[in-house]
Structure 1
Amino acid sequence: MTTNQRRAARFNKAFGNRLAGPLLSRMPGFGAVLHKGRRSGRVYRTPVKIFRTAGGFTMSLPYGPKSDWVRNVQAAGGCQLVSLGRRFDLVEPRVYHDREQRVIPRPLRPLLARFKAFDFIELRLAPAGAGRAER
């Protein structure tokens, strides 16, 4: 992560997420990841860009795979996602790098490429017995 990306990540963590987060999770293509801090145990809400997949969701990682929220989700083995008023239980986090951005719709690829967003986290919907999407 470059110095500018680190600065942007710190700014968003301190201010942007609090201001834009509640609005973004109500917009199509966006959501909020609810995750528990690895050390603090505190519940955090992080706005994310989401892409629906056959078995769950993929999220772009513009600040890289070492972001606190990504590490929290990996340590917990999952998280909850709130999008368009629905809540999804997600499991089996898998972080990967894809310069081709295969999961991204073609019109959005140049925008994400401009931010060098080639890292993603994929999560599967939890089995029905373990929790399921609510309306």
Structure 2
Amino acid sequence: MTGAQRRSGPPKALQRATESIAMLLAGRRWFPLWAVMHHRGRRSGGEYATPVAVIPTIDRGTILIGLPWGAGTNWARNVEAAGGAQLTWKGREHRAASPRIIDPAEAASLAKPMFRLVVRRMPAAIALRRVP
């Protein structure tokens, strides 16, 4: 298997151990760091809900999510292929469109100053436009 074909994502044991806690907290009004990304599988067509960490941005119209496991993360590829997704964040539903996988430098320029160092250390991020 080449690097481009290798599965991207967290180790399965870590994913199983943290998924239930993440889904319990994600999307809640009182826990603004995490959201739930609702997306459709690009091959299966199945509906998925994935907890994600939202990075505060300098532009309220931009939603930025770090990709610590890289640009090959399945949920990010699904959202990119669909041209957008629904996001449950801060207790509300948000539509997000125009997804772009971006490099750490561009992600850091979109993030609020306090989060730039963290974003620069991630291999990629996905930027989406909030749809009114």
**Common topology (TM > 0.5):** yes
Residue 55 (structure 1) shift: 1.9
CA distance in 1, matches of 2:43, 2:103: 27
- For structure 1, which runs of at least 5 residues remain unmatched after alignment? 127-131
CA distance in 2, matches of 1:68, 1:7: 8
Q: How many residues align?
A: 122
Residue 89 (structure 1) shift: 1.0
Residues 99 and 118 of structure 1 are in contact (CA less than 8 Å); yes or no, is this contact kept in structure 2?
A: no
Residue 59 (structure 1) shift: 0.9
Residues 91 and 125 of structure 1 are in contact (CA less than 8 Å); yes or no, is this contact kept in structure 2?
A: yes
TM value normalised by structure 1: 0.74
CA distance in 2, matches of 1:73, 1:59: 12
Residue 105 (structure 1) shift: 2.7
Residues 94 and 122 of structure 1 are in contact (CA less than 8 Å); yes or no, is this contact kept in structure 2?
A: yes
TM value normalised by structure 2: 0.76
* Matched-pair identity in %: 31
Structure 1 vs Structure 2 CA RMSD: 2.5
Residue 112 (structure 1) shift: 4.4
The match for 1:129 is none
Q: Aligned with 1:71: secondary structure? A: helix
Q: Aligned with 2:105: secondary structure? A: coil
The match for 1:46 is 50
Q: Aligned with 1:82: secondary structure? A: strand
